[in-house]
Structure 1
Amino acid sequence: MASIIFRDSNGDNAGDFIGESTVTQSCEPCMKTNKSKTATVFCKECDEYMCDTCKNPHTTYKTDQHTLVNFLDKKSAPVMIDMKGINKCNEHGRDIEFFCQDHSKLCCSSCVLIHRKCGQVDEIANVSRQTRPELQALKQSLIKLQSEADDIIADCKQSETVLNKSIEKMSLEVDAMRDRMIQLFEVAKKKFITEANEFRTAESKRIGNRRETSSKVKEDICTVLSMCCIVLERGTPSQRYIYSELIKEKRNTMESNIHDQRKIKVAPTVIVSFSKELTSFHEVGSNIIQLNYDGNKTVKTSRIGLPSQPRQFTMELLVSMDLPKTGDDHMEPCLSGLDFLPDGRLVAVDNHNDKCVVLNDQLQRLGKPYKFKIRPLGVVCTSHGALCVTFGSKKVVLLLSVSKDNVIKLTRKIKTSSEFDSVCCMSPYHMVVSTRDDSRHARMLSVDGVESDFNKLVFAKKTYKAHGSKCTYIQSKNTLVLTDRKAHTVYLYDTLMGTFRAVTNEDIHIPIGACVGPGDTVLVCSASKHSIVHMSVKGEIIGTYPVDMRFPNSICVSKDGSSLAMSNCVEGIRKLQLYKLSPATS
């Protein structure tokens, strides 16, 4: 018996199914008589292998014309293949000889007993002569699957290349963001150091003035005291009387000077405070960077809001209070300025009754109101318990302190060169104020009374009258916000770049008060629309919120962004309201 190792063009892949195929050619008639001879021819009609001895009687005694082909012609003759056991029944280990059409199952002689009740069980030897299996079609389908597998492998290689490149690009993007953050931090540090040096210069000047004044008073005291001792020891009664009367006036002046210097408070120690965005950045830790991919449809961003878009919020009315005239008022209250202290207490200035009041979270008055001699306009909390109040045409600003037990005291009076209307916080030591009758629509004012301008900004060539424009300032965005009541416009100035946006919208009509909203956005009172307009620093309208108040005028948001207070100044329907702010659900 001859044995040949046979492979076709797809042999490498076929080996995965049945391994290497061993081809044997034996004469089938001889095998029936237990003889073994090598087959040389194949009868296509009988599907039978024969040797030279058996082929002659085969052609002689067969009635039909049979075609014999030389078995050595591999293209025309089939071969006997060692099937490597795949032609054996897995269950019984016997040769597969039958096919059950009912169950589409190959069977051995033992399986036939199980399928004896089936309608059609055929011997493979018979059916294979009648209908040849569609092996060629199966081969083509396998080739097609092989091609698809090749495509997948090629796609995997390409995907791997793209993945590696995207990882490299992502690393570069993270490095770029890191560099931007470092640059931003350096700019902030430079600004902070400049501000600290300015404060040191101003504070040193105050300390120097205080020391110089006190030293001069001390010199005068020493001179007077020396003479006093001499007169007291050696002078006549008349001299003592005269000198006593003379130094009484000097003593009063000296006493007054010492008292004034004692009231002056200096800040020998300063500390640095970081914005809530920066502290949140630190709290998030390594989660400030998130991996996003096609299978992960949820885009993750850091909690500090670097790539995030401004979100809407919901407003829940907590307390609404009418503002009628009470026993200590000479007019119906008109709250022209509002701001929150860091602990959540609300401060309000009453323009009609010349006073400043502190309120709790139920809008109940705390402590005794502070009475002014002139009408206040705006108020802002500059630091813990420190307030700044403006007075318009009087060209004066007062600095107040508020204790934990709600006692309000005057700490400093600052005379200004401009008329200031509204006021907002720029830093713990600087305020931004809107102006009246001044081409500089907004200016800066330090707690030491130093006035300065936004030199990079170019304002429109006009001036504002009383209540014509209000301001707010977004420190993290270096953005100055000015409302223009008559033009129904909100101006957003980039104080670093010197550029601005003029925002007009059908929902913005008679914009008055403005404040910094959640996420460093802008909230503006749209008076004639009886609503609040929420916008980004780019001028995009995020949302509009109708309120239960006619012509809202003043507005402020708590330091933690959870509360909003609002008031109006319409005769007969004056209100003060407190709202709870919550992020809107998507």
Structure 2
Amino acid sequence: MDGRDGCDKLKNKLVAAINSTNQVTELLDDADSRLSDDIRALSDKLKDMKARIIQIFDDFTNEILTHASVYSKSTKDDLAKKKINCETQIQSMKKTVRTLDSIMSTGTPAKQFITERRMLDDVHNAVKDATSIHEELSRIDIHCLFDDQVKKFKSKLESVFNSESFNIIYSLPSPSKLEFVRSIELKATSDNLEEPMYTGLSFLPDNRLVAIDNQNHKCLIYDVNLNVKNSYKLSYIPQCVAAVSDDEIVVTSGGKYRLDFLNVSKTNKLTVKRTCKMNAKYFSISMMNNDNFVVSTVDHIKPFRIVSISGDESEFNIKTPSKKYPVGTNYCTFICDREILVQTDRDEDKIYIYNIESGKNVTVNDKLVKSPCGVAVGPYDHVFVGSSSTKCLVEITPGGRVLSSHQVDMDYPRYIAISKDKKLLAVSNSVIGARKLSLYKIA
């Protein structure tokens, strides 16, 4: 092995360490943000309690928030120091990479060989230090305890606060675990002349599952054990579905410019309430907020749009790739708490993450992400994507970091739904002769 090959290997190690350490800074930023959110949530909780017991609660609120503020400042300072340490490490490694690039492009073979030998230990130590930072980060837990304050408060209001907890406990995000519950095969029957293919899935708030059978033009209701409770024949080819409320769903059409709103009774009766005429064809649909949906388009200049509950259509004020998507190649969802839109591009093997407020975007292009299709928001605002060609579900942070891949009991998983409480995940596929609907618990 000559000096250039050695330098190239060292450079690759450093570049990998730089990328990994950049991901660490994302986790530190997320910890800082979530700590602030938890402190704000605590303040809101205290204010709500204050309305019931004004005078006593005023004293308690002041004590709790003072303690939380001191702890928050101390913890944020510690997170900031860790981030500075990461950034210093990155700059140092980048400097070494530039030195190696320069030697590789202009240095003689002898000088390249000498440089490799001279820098071998330095690079080894730099990578070792980066690994050490990662190991230290994996052990970070943020605990803000208010036990003493709560005990004092309970002594005054024992009849009101019997088991109230005022602890903030936050660990840096780790991959979820999927626990298999049940799977059913989707086959043609006397009621279904075609082999069913579920292109749309959505959970109602009570965890009943709504499925759209694209092949037999049906909307079906399943219970939590994947037993069919009812089905409704539609007069067109349906594509996708979203739960609007406790008793209402909305369905997109494959060949029609329309959205259909259906009522779902407690006894699983389905009836069409109203139809909204659209100016474009829409495929996937999910709730953006209480008043609007985000929809993926078919053969349209914009890959996704906003549609209100009343049927008004509008655009996002963000820059997107100039591309028209054929049906089934473009899916999207929305992370409400973060104002983030996530879009999958099946043919390009890419996932686009758009921050609507800041205008920033991230493109995820990873070896685990191949032919990405359906996408849904899970715990910690992580998104789960059906990666058809790798036969798994990929879990990604809101910042675009690929956390994990989850194997499922089917080939080419495409369509995903996650329950409102983030505890259940449903997935289906489109493989002819081997179509399934499966249910998992999220831990």
**TM-score interval (norm. to shorter):** 0.5 to 0.7
Once the two structures are superposed, residues 353-376 of structure 1 have per-residue CA deviations (whole angstroms, 9 ceiling, x without a partner) of 001010011111113x11111111
**TM-aligned CA deviation for residue 384 of structure 1:** 1.5
Q: How many angstroms apart in 2 are the aligned matches of 1:547 and 1:290?
A: 45
2:199 to 336, 340, 354: 336
Alignment of 1:222-241 (within 5 A): none
**CA-CA distance at 1:390 after TM superposition:** 0.3
TM-score by length of 2: 0.64
Distance 2:182 2:419 in 1: 15
**DSSP-derived class of the 1:519 partner:** helix
More strand by percentage: 2
Q: Which residue of 1 is the match for residue 215 of structure 2?
A: 352
Computed over aligned residues only, the root mean square deviation of the Cα atoms, in angstroms, reads: 3.1
1:420-462 per-residue CA deviation (whole Å, 9 max, x = no partner) reads 010011122211000011121110111111111102x111111
Q: 1:177 and 1:539, CA in 2 relative to 1: closer, same or farther beyond 3 A?
A: closer
- Return the alpha-carbon distance in structure 2 between the equivalents of residues 359 and 289 of structure 1: 47
- 2:377 maps to what in 1? 516
**Bigger relative CO (Cα 8 Å, ≥ 6 apart):** 2
In the other structure, the counterpart of 1:497 is 358
Deviations 1:318-337 (A, max 9, x none): 10111111221120000000
Whether the 8 Å CA contact 2:140–2:171 is kept in 1: the answer is no
Of 445, 452, 458, the match for 2:307: 445
1:384 has 2:214 as partner:
no
Q: CA deviation at 1:494?
A: 0.6
Alignment of 1:421-440 (within 5 A): 421-440=283-302
Instruction: Kindly indicate whether residue 329 of structure 2 is the aligned counterpart of residue 468 of structure 1.
Output: yes
Q: Provide closer, same or farther for how the CA distance between residues 392 and 300 of structure 1 changes in structure 2, counting only shifts above 3 A.
A: same
Amino acid aligned to 1:491: Y
1:551 and 1:319 mapped to 2: Cα distance? 18
**Is the CA contact 2:142–2:169 (under 8 Å) kept in the aligned structure 1?**
no
User: Could you say if the C-alpha distance between residues 348 and 177 of structure 1 is closer, same or farther in structure 2, counting changes exceeding 3 Å?
Assistant: closer
- 1:317 deviates by 0.7
Partner of 2:415: 554
Mapped partners of 1:323, 1:304: distance in 2: 47
Distance 1:527 1:177, change over 3 A: closer
Q: Deviations over 1:250-285 (max 9, x none)?
A: xxxxxxxxxxxxxxxxxxxxxxxxxxxxxxxx9xx8
Do 2:142 and 2:171's aligned partners in 1 also have CA atoms closer than 8 Å?
no
Correspondence for 1:6: none
Match of 2:126 in 1: none
Once the two structures are superposed, the pairs formed by residues 278-297 of structure 1 within 5 Å of their partners are 291=71
Structure 1 residue 309 displacement after superposition:
3.0
Unaligned runs of 5+ in 2: 1-31, 45-60, 79-138, 146-165
For 1:310 and 1:290, the matched residues in 2 are separated by 24
Instruction: State the partner residue of 2:397.
Output: 536
Contact 1:290 / 1:300 at 8 angstroms: preserved in 2? no
TM-score using structure 1 length: 0.49
Distance 1:306 1:398, change over 3 A: farther
SS at match of 1:377: strand
**For the residues of structure 1 that align with 2:235 and 2:168, how far apart are their CA atoms?**
45
Partner of 1:48: none
AA in 2 matched with 1:486: D
Partner letter of residue 418 of structure 2? V
| Structure 1 unmatched ranges of 5 or more | 1-172, 186-281
Q: Does 1:320 align with 2:163?
A: no
How many residues get paired? 307
State the secondary structure of the residue aligned to 1:470: strand
Is 1:415 matched up with 2:289? Answer: no
CA shift, 1:520, in A, is 1.1
Q: Note the C-alpha offset of 1:289.
A: 6.7
Residue 288 of structure 1, CA deviation: 6.8
Please tell me the residue identity of whatever aligns with 1:453: E
The 1-side partners of 2:171 and 2:342 are apart by 22
> Distance in 1 between the 2:168 and 2:307 partners?
30
Q: Is the 8 A contact 1:438 1:464 kept in 2?
A: yes
For residues 298 and 371 of structure 1, the distance between their equivalents in structure 2, rounded to whole angstroms, comes to 52
Q: 1:415 to 1:397 in 2, by over 3 A?
A: same
Indicate conservation of the 8 Å contact 2:179/2:440, yes or no. Answer: yes
Task: Give the letter aligned to residue 295 of structure 2.
Answer: V
1:371 to 209, 233, 236: 233
Conserved? CA contact 1:393–1:419, under 8 Å: yes
**1:29-48 to 2 correspondences below 5 Å:** none
Q: Distance in 1 between matches of 2:306 and 2:197?
A: 26
Distance in 2 between residues matched to 1:529 and 1:523, nearest whole Å: 14
Q: Is the CA contact (8 Å cut-off) linking 1:436 and 1:464 kept in structure 2?
A: yes
Contact 1:433–1:443 (Cα < 8 Å) also in 2: yes
Q: Whose Rg is larger?
A: 1
Between the aligned residues of both structures, percent identity stands at 33
Q: CA deviation at 1:518?
A: 1.0
Out of 143, 154, 157, the residue aligned to residue 300 of structure 1 is: 143
Measure how far apart 1:299 and its partner are.
Answer: 3.0
- Offset of 1:496 from its aligned partner? 1.2
Q: Is the 8 A contact 1:310 1:542 kept in 2?
A: no
Measure the CA separation in 2 of the matches of 1:304 and 1:475: 25
**Aligned to 2:337, what secondary structure does the other structure show?**
helix
